[in-house]
Amino acid sequence: MNYSPLQKARYEYTPKLPGMLRNGITEIGVKEGEETQSVADQDKIKALFPNTYGKKEITFEKGQNTAATKKQVVGVILSGGQAPGGHNVVCGLYDALKATNKENVLYGFKNGPSGLVEDDYLIFDDSYINEFRNTGGFDIIGSGRTKLETDEQFAIAADVCKKHGITAIVIIGGDDSNTNAAVLAEYFAAKDTGVQVIGCPKTIDGDLKNEDIECSFGFDTATKTYSELIGNIERDANSAKKYWHFIKVMGRSASHVALECALETQPNICLISEEVAAKKMSLSQIADYIADSVEKRAAKGMNFGVAVIPEGVVEFVPEFSALIGEINELLAGSKAETFNALSTWGEKYTFIEQGLSKESMAVFAILPQGIQQQLFLERDPHGNVQVSLIESEKLFSALVADKLAERKKKGTYKGKFGALHHFFGYEGRCAFPSNFDSDYCYSLGYNAFMLIQYGYNGYLSKVSNLSAPASEWVAGGMPITKMMNVERRHGEDKPVIRKALVELDGKPFKFFEAHREEWSVETSYVYPGAIQYYGPTEVCDITTRTLALEQE
């Protein structure tokens, strides 16, 4: 197989562990903290998790390893979308397992949780795992989005574990995946299977975080990758001086990625979905906000700029959410067949006009025709609008163009406006992990095995104090149930891990808020450049601006 020079060098990189985990397996003791409770709905969550609720947070520290010695056979699963560093979680888990006892075994269940119920696996050895150290992607065993949520699935999983003598399962995933991990851990405990379940926090969206989990893995690498690209575009914009670039970035439920990229690159505009919702901003108000920047910059002879748009921002616009709800009702049941039978867009438009309320029709009417049609052509399996497919970067540039045309007629705007569009998503999901993510993920995997060795079940691998050098990181674990609340999903109350949205009173947003007016008018661009893997620590091991501001 052919390797690039960087591939070869990364395979040989030795990830840095928290100081305590460097002591050697026999010198890692455990300190238990206070009992925990869920973030909300305590009685309901406790009732759903009687065997795993209320457990204590733990911290590993230097001391005698008091865990019982036994052969460990562990299974690992990659769940959900890719995130840089996932391979290193597996590598850290494997290395800790083998350092404890060469006879320990690590199974990799293929293509996500379905690999467990289908008994589709491989057994790791040194030669195989060494091909994936410090690399991006999830191709080591593949991933998938199958949910483990039925008793039938749990029973099959228990049988597969019994067949192979598996003592623990490690699930590497986001909020839904770790919710599944908590439910599976409860089932295994209730059935007295002896199988433990440990989760690891993964998502580039950054919305799996709280007072205990400072950041999910992959966020650092993904945002650095997007920021490099945004910086390159800013440099191009400042060179050509004739285009406004509208850039959509990942983040349907939260705007952490957009905010971090804005802090890294200082674009002229960055929308924050949570602020849009808090201020109940309309599409017209958002378009005016962006047009103001375009107009002010044009008055200074700068007919160019950069706007960063979170993937899910339109879902946070109250009037747009109402429109989507009405469209879903409009096409419910047999009415969808009536609509689809109409042969021209004009006929369909009349059907829509008659079916929507006056308020929603006013919103629909200002949308570009391409977006209008997309709302009616792209449906999910339940017949609902797939909001995530809406090209919001094109939507807002079109709305801004309309606003500027109105201003030109009034004589208040005399500039030129040309728009280009970009979507940065997959570009960051499988990048070579940064040193931070390489170290953090390896530590999460190593730490996950320590939780297994000490007999914990339904815990999330936790590494904190992440803005400090890796030697000062703190390793431990927390019960997954601590992060949970009850939400209404598909007509039922479901226990789920609460998503972490951007906090509008948090330090990262406040820093952005204090500077964005200047950035909107001036050319204050910052060019982060490519992720650096070798060189000065202050360049190679730097954390995200978000994490640095949060821990000031």
Tell me what pLDDT residue 490 has: 64
Tell me what pLDDT residue 387 has: 75
Tell me what pLDDT residue 385 has: 74
Domain ranges of the chain: 67-218+433-483, 219-425+506-550
CATH number of the domain at 67-218+433-483, please? 3.40.50.450
Task: Report in angstroms the alpha-carbon separations of 416 from 189, 284, 298, 411, 413.
Answer: 66, 20, 8, 13, 9
Tell me what pLDDT residue 47 has: 96
pLDDT along the chain (552 residues), means of 10: 88 92 89 95 96 96 90 97 97 96 97 97 97 96 92 96 98 94 97 97 92 93 98 98 97 94 98 97 97 97 98 93 90 84 93 94 92 80 73 95 96 95 96 97 97 97 95 96 87 86 97 98 98 95 95 87
Write out the DSSP string of 133-161.
TT--SSTTT--B-----SHHHHHHHHHHH
CATH 3.40.50.460 applies to domain 219-425+506-550: yes
Of the residues 176, 205, 220, 439, only one is catalytic, namely 205
Tell me what pLDDT residue 381 has: 66
The enclosing H or E element of 99 equals helix 86-100
Task: Report in angstroms the alpha-carbon separations of 124 from 75, 105, 538.
Answer: 10, 8, 35
Report helix, strand or coil for 122. strand
437 classed as catalytic: no
506 CA to centre of own chain: 19
Q: Give the separation between CA 425 and CA 186, rounded to whole angstroms.
A: 35
Other Cβ atoms closer than 10 A to 71: 11
Look up the pTM and report it.
0.95
Rg over CA atoms, the chain: 25
Do the two domains 67-218+433-483 and 219-425+506-550 of this chain adopt the same fold?
yes
**Signed CA dihedral, 282, 420, 425, 257: sign only:** negative
Report helix, strand or coil for 527. coil
Please name which of 472, 474, 440, 484 lies closest in space to residue 200, comparing C-alpha atoms.
440
DSSP single-letter state for residue 202 = B
Tell me what pLDDT residue 388 has: 74
DSSP single-letter state for residue 300 = T
